[in-house]
Structures are given as C-alpha cells and as structure tokens.
C-alpha cells in the first residue's frame, strides 16, 4: 500500500473513532443531566434550614437553566452528525458541549465551597457524599472524552477540597487529603477506561475494515472464478465443435467397407478422438454438477453387474502397466443409489488408482456395516500426504504430475467423485500413507432384494426405416457430418443452419419430421429450444420427439438446456451412442432416451 493511501486510511479511521466518541458521549449525557438535577434537589432539601431558601432556589434555578441549555445541545447532536463526510459541525457541537460542561463544574464547585465553609459538620458530611457521588457519575459519563472530564472535574472538586484544607481541625485536613487522593485515583482510572474504550473502538473499525476488505477479496475471487468458468465454457464449446465433426465423419468411415490397414487407421483415430472427448467430459461433468442439472434417479439394484463390468473393462489397462486388478468376490448385496452416477464414481476411483500405481495392484472390495455397504478401492500406489488429502478433491489439482502428463488425466476425476458422492449423500473417505498406497471408501445404503431392478441387457439398435430427421446446426462441418452419418443409417435428412433456414427447408419437404435434432447454441443468440418450439408450432404437433446437442459447459446454459424433457447430448457425441438415442426416441419417446443418457 502506498504512503498517501495509508494516510487516507488512517485519517478515515480517526474520523470514524471521533464520531463514535461523540456518539457515546451523547448517549451518556441524558443520564448525567438527570443525576445532576436529582442531586441538586436533594441538596436544597438538606440545606434549607442552614442557608437562605432564596439563595438555594436561585442556585437551583440557574442549574435548571444550564441543564436546559445542555439538553438543547444534546438535541442538536443529530443534525451535527448528519453529514458523514464533514466533521466540522460535530466539532462545533463538541465545543459547545465542552464549554457548557465547564460552566456546570463551576456552578457546582464554587457554591459547594461556600456551603462547605459555613455549613455544620453534619451537612458537611452530606455535601462530601453528594460531591463524591456526582463526581464519580461524571467519570463514567465523560471518560470517553478526557478534555470534557477535566473541564468538569477540576472546577467541581478543586474549590471544595481547598476549603476543606483551610478549615481548622485535623478531620477537615484529612478529608481534604483523602479527597485529593480520591480525585487522583479516579482520574487515573478514567484514563485507563479512556484507553480501553478507545482501543475497543479502534479494534471495531479495524475489524470492520478487514471484513470489508475480505468481502471485496471474496467478490473478486468469485468474479475471477466466474470468469474462469466462462472462459473454460467458451473454450470448451469452440474446441468441441471440430472434435464433434471429426467424430461424425469417423462414424461415417466406420460404416464403409475398408481394407484391414484402413480399418486399423480408423480405429487409431477413433481411440484418439475418444481420449480427447474424455478430457472434455471432465470439464462437462464438473459444470453439470455445479449447475445442479443432474438429478439422482435412485432405485434398488444389484451391485454385481457394475463391479464385474469394471473388472472386465479396466483389467487390460492395469495389465498394460504391469498391475493386477482384482475384485474381492462375495455375496454381492442389493444397494440403493443411482446406478449411473455410482458407476461414474467407481470408474473414476478405479481409473485414478491404476494411473497412480507403479507396481503391485488395485483391489475392489465391499464391507457390510449394519444397513450400509462400504465399497473400497485399494491401491499400492505412491500414497497421499496428510496435507494433500483434502486438496486432491479440488479441480485440476494433481499431486504426482508436475510435468502435466495428460496420460495421468486433467485432475478432475476426484473432484467429480467428491461432488457426485455429495449429490448422492454417500459419505466418501480416504485413508492413505505415502509410499504405501491409498484406500477410497464410499458408503451407501443397502437395498431391498425384492424390488431390485433386473440386470439390463443392451438391446439391439432398431434399423432405420426411412424416418425423416430435421437437423439444425450453425457449424457447416458438424451439419454436413450429421447429414452424412444419418443418411448412412438410412434416415432421410433435412438440414438448416438456423430456425429460418429449417422452416424454409420444411416448406419444400412433403413430410412432417419424425424427429428434430438441433444444436443448442446457434447464431444471433438463437437456441435450439426456440427452433424446436417453432417447428412444433409450424406442424401444430408438440409431440414430435427432439434431441438437443451442445458443446456448452457453462452452468447457466446447462440449466436452460435441461429445462425440457428432451435428451441433451454433449459434443463430441460418439456415433454409436447417438444412433442408440435416436432409435430409442423414435421408438419409445423422450423418457426412456433421457434415462439411458449417461452422465
């Protein structure tokens, strides 16, 4: 922070403390004025037999007049403190308060000295008690402002104590000395109270400033995080488009008659495209979880098929690294969860274990604990230090990948695991020792075997029977790739880059679409939802099935796109998966297709 900025901050804090001092003073004034009025009335009642009543009433009248003036000054505080940018009016109020308080001290101290000199001993004792009572009350009322305290206490206490010292007799002298000591002690106490209150005010405003700075920093961090999310969403969308087109053309190639060498080349390209799509899927799944568009479909199902499939799929990957992937077989129970989301969690855990294990192996096992099943994934990998065990669940955080080797992933797998487990309310725990390995445990409730879903078998994809599909995409390569792929599957295709294009093409088509396939984000801020609605209105039939494609990972876009019941597929779309979804939509409608669309 630069010096002028520091000076400005100190000046601003000094103004804040000054205003707070004046506010405390104004709050204490009514009580001190009321105490002074009651004490004055008592003194008149006690001294009326000793001194002329006329003199006492004159003194009481002057006191009441001064109290009224001081009360009027108190009432002016609100207008004096109204302008928070200018303290000059408050300083004038302070000066008036100071002079009126000093006048009150004299109006009490001088008559007190006179009465102390001429009053009998009994009345002197009462006057001393009244003197100390009102003086002590003034310390509590004025200690927030030392000048004000001295302006009242000195003219209030000094004349009576001087008179006591001049009176004959050791008792008066002792009382004078005791009174002087009392005044010194109470003033020292007042100084301590003043510093305490001032420190308290300073700390209050420093804490307020810190909270404001913290709020600013938090807002800046949130803006930065939002900008990061928007950048990733935009970059992901723009990168997905050519990869999606590549996967579509690759799907067309796979349908052709190729020689073995060409077939092998196509397979290699397919694996590279699939790997690239997996990287995009990591970003997508984080965005979908953040957007809250994933809603768990809980049901009772048997766990065995999921674990057996994991063993089947990941054994080649483990073997390629010289590892052994084992499944602790047993009487697999029925569990209650979302099978698709649970499968996603376990896949990420197994994949993560294999990636970070150099020798030994990975074990998948289960333990029953009452009504709960704990699924555990053990590895003999590098392990995770205690300080890093929470950080590994953050996006893009990788402990053992300083060179950013893409074969070790993007650092999103465990972030997806944590958020998905939280979504399902399945507690996730980690035990790990550096150099010895790690154990990830997921706890989920046991299910009812009588209501368990039967094991689903992949159905054959029905062949197309010349159905008409209207396709809308503003990217020329994607549109051409979709047209070629759909025609390869024997669909009849009508294409358009926008809503106007597809409506114009529809006017020349003698058939109503059997299905509408549209990109979500089109040009000129048009969306696929709007285009589908226009086509439904054009044919006066809102039952025409539709499928949305999107390359967006922006949570706001995902929420908007998921508002309808239509399946939402994310680019790059695997050709085989797209074919299954289209067939299901044409045969069964949106509900089954949406359910069978993976995370």
- Residues 73-95 have pLDDT tens digits of 888 877 777 766 677 888 888 88
Residues 409 and 506 grouped into a single domain: no
256-266 tens-digit pLDDT: 777 777 777 77
pLDDT of residue 65: 93
pLDDT of residue 479: 86
Residue whose entry in the numeric block shows the structure tokens 């099943």: 373
The share of the chain scoring above pLDDT 90, in percent, equals: 7
Residues 413 and 485 grouped into a single domain: no
Residues 475 and 447 grouped into a single domain: no
Query: How many domains, in total, are found in the chain?
Result: 3
Higher local confidence (pLDDT), 224 or 194: 194
Domain presence at residue 282? no
pLDDT of residue 237: 59
Output the domain CATH number for residue 546: 3.40.50.2300
**Given pLDDT bands bounded at 50, 70 and 90, which one contains residue 3?**
very low
pLDDT at 456 over 50: no
Domain presence at residue 225? no
Residue whose entry in the numeric block shows the structure tokens 């300073």: 202
Exposed, middle or buried: residue 201 (CB in 10 Å: 0-12, 13-18, 19+)? Answer: buried
Residues 444 and 519 grouped into a single domain: no
Residues 357 and 399 grouped into a single domain: yes
Averaged over 8-33, what is the pLDDT? 76
pLDDT of residue 172: 83
Domain presence at residue 199? yes
Averaged over 311-334, what is the pLDDT? 83
Residues 501 and 583 grouped into a single domain: yes
Residues written for the chain? 599
Contact yes or no for 366/332 (Cβ under 8 A): yes
Q: What does pTM read for this prediction?
A: 0.43
**Given pLDDT bands bounded at 50, 70 and 90, which one contains residue 248?**
low
Q: Give 440's contacts (C-beta < 8 A, 6+ positions apart).
A: 349, 352, 353, 376, 377, 417, 428, 429, 430
Residues 518 and 424 grouped into a single domain: no
pLDDT of residue 458: 47
Residues 205 and 324 grouped into a single domain: no
Domain presence at residue 494? yes
Q: Which of these three, 180, 195, 215, is where a domain ends?
A: 215
CA dist 291 → 237, 285, 452, 550, 556 (Å): 16, 10, 30, 15, 7
Residues 480 and 420 grouped into a single domain: no
Q: How confident is the prediction for the chain on average, in pLDDT?
A: 79
Domain presence at residue 457? no
Averaged over 554-573, what is the pLDDT? 72
Residues 491 and 561 grouped into a single domain: yes
271-295 tens-digit pLDDT: 666 655 555 555 555 555 555 556 7
Closest to 188 (Cα-Cα) out of 149, 152, 134, 159: 149
Strand arrangement, sheet containing 468-472: 492-496, 468-472, 515-519, 546-550, 568-570
pLDDT of residue 515: 93
pLDDT at 498 over 50: yes
pLDDT of residue 471: 92
pLDDT of residue 517: 93
Give the Cα separation of 543 and 530 in Å (integer): 15
pLDDT at 336 over 80: yes
Domain presence at residue 208? yes
pLDDT of residue 297: 78
Residues 552 and 591 grouped into a single domain: yes
Higher local confidence (pLDDT), 457 or 48: 48
Rounded to 5 degrees, what are φ and ψ at 437? 125, 180
Averaged over 371-377, what is the pLDDT? 89
Handedness of CA 130, 131, 132, 133 (dihedral sign): positive
Q: 15 in the Ramachandran plot: left (φ > 0), alpha (ψ -120 to 50) or beta?
A: alpha
513-558 tens-digit pLDDT: 999 999 888 888 888 889 999 999 988 888 899 998 877 666 666 6
End-to-end CA distance of the chain: 48
Higher local confidence (pLDDT), 96 or 457: 96
Q: 325 in the Ramachandran plot: left (φ > 0), alpha (ψ -120 to 50) or beta?
A: beta
pLDDT at 211 over 80: yes
Q: Which of these three, 408, 424, 451, is where a domain ends?
A: 451
Closest to 472 (Cα-Cα) out of 425, 523, 411: 523
Output the domain CATH number for residue 426: 3.30.565.10
Higher local confidence (pLDDT), 589 or 220: 220
Q: Which of these three, 197, 215, 233, is where a domain ends?
A: 215
Contact yes or no for 412/286 (Cβ under 8 A): yes
pLDDT at 13 over 60: yes
Domain presence at residue 87? yes
pLDDT at 379 over 80: yes
pLDDT at 397 over 60: no
pLDDT of residue 8: 47
Domain presence at residue 236? no
Question: What is the extent of the structural domain holding 129?
Answer: 3-215
**HEC profile for 121-152?**
HHHHHHHHHHHHHHHHHHHHHHCCCHHHHHHH
pLDDT of residue 158: 87
**Given pLDDT bands bounded at 50, 70 and 90, which one contains residue 213?**
confident
Question: What DSSP state is assigned to residue 410?
Answer: -
pLDDT of residue 454: 56
pLDDT at 15 over 90: no
pLDDT of residue 204: 81
Residues 445 and 564 grouped into a single domain: no
Helix, coil or strand: residue 539: coil
């Amino acid at each position: 922070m630069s010096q002028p900025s520091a000076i400005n901050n100190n000046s601003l804090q000094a103004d804040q403390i000054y205003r707070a001092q004046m506010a405390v003073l104004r709050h204490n004034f009514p009580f001190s004025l009321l105490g002074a009025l009651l004490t004055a009335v008592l003194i008149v009642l006690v001294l009326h037999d000793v001194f002329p009543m006329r003199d006492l009433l004159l003194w009481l009248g002057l006191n009441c007049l001064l109290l009224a003036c001081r009360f009027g000054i108190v009432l002016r505080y609100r207008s004096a403190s109204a302008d928070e940018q200018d303290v000059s009016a408050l300083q004038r109020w302070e000066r008036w308060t100071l002079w009126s308080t000093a006048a009150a001290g004299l109006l009490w101290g001088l008559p007190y000295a006179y009465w102390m000199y001429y009053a009998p001993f009994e009345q002197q004792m009462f006057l001393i008690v009244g003197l100390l009572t009102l003086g002590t009350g003034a310390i509590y009322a004025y200690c927030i402002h030392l000048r004000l305290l001295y302006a009242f206490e000195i003219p209030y206490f000094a004349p009576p104590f001087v008179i006591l010292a001049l009176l004959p007799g050791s008792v008066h002298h002792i009382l004078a000395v005791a009174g002087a000591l009392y005044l010194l002690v109470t003033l020292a106490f007042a100084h301590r109270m003043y510093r305490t209150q001032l420190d308290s005010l300073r700390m209050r405003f420093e804490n307020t400033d810190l909270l404001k700075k913290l709020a600013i920093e938090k807002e800046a961090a949130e803006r930065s995080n939002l900008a990061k999310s928007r950048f990733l969403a935009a970059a992901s969308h723009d990168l997905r488009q050519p990869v999606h087109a590549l996967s579509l053309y690759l799907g067309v190639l796979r349908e052709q008659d190729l020689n073995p060498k060409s077939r092998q080349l196509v397979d290699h390209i397919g694996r590279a495209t699939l790997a690239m799509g997996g990287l995009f899927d990591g970003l997508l799944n984080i965005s979908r979880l953040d957007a809250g568009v994933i809603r768990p479909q809980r049901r009772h199902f048997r766990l065995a098929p999921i674990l057996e499939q994991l063993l089947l799929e990941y054994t080649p990957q483990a073997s390629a690294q010289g590892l052994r992937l084992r499944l602790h077989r047993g009487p697999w129970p029925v569990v209650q969860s979302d099978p698709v989301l649970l499968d996603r969690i376990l896949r990420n855990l197994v994949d993560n274990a294999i990636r970070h294990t150099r020798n030994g192996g990975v074990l998948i096992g289960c333990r029953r604990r009452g009504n709960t099943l704990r699924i555990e994934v053990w590895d003999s990998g590098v392990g995770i230090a205690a300080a890093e065990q929470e950080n590994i669940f953050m996006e893009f955080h990788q402990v053992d990948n300083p060179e950013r080797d893409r074969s070790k992933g993007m650092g999103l797998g465990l972030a997806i695991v944590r958020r998905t487990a939280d979504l399902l309310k399945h507690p996730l725990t980690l035990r790990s020792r550096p150099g010895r390995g790690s154990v990830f445990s997921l706890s989920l409730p046991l299910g009812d075997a009588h209501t368990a879903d039967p094991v689903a078998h992949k159905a054959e994809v029905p062949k197309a029977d010349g159905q008409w599909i209207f396709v809308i995409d503003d990217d020329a390569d994607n549109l051409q790739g979709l047209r070629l792929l759909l025609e390869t599957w024997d669909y009849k295709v009508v294409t358009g880059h926008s809503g106007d294009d597809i409506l114009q093409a529809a006017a020349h088509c003698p058939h109503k679409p059997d299905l509408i396939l549209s990109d979500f984000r089109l040009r000129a801020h048009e969306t696929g939802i709007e285009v589908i609605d226009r086509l439904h209105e054009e044919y006066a039939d809102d039952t025409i099935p539709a499928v949305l494609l999107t390359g967006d990972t922006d949570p706001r876009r995902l929420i908007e796109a998921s508002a309808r019941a239509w399946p939402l597929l994310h680019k790059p779309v695997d050709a085989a998966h797209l074919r299954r979804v289209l067939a299901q939509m044409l045969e069964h409608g949106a509900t089954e297709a949406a359910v069978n669309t993976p995370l």
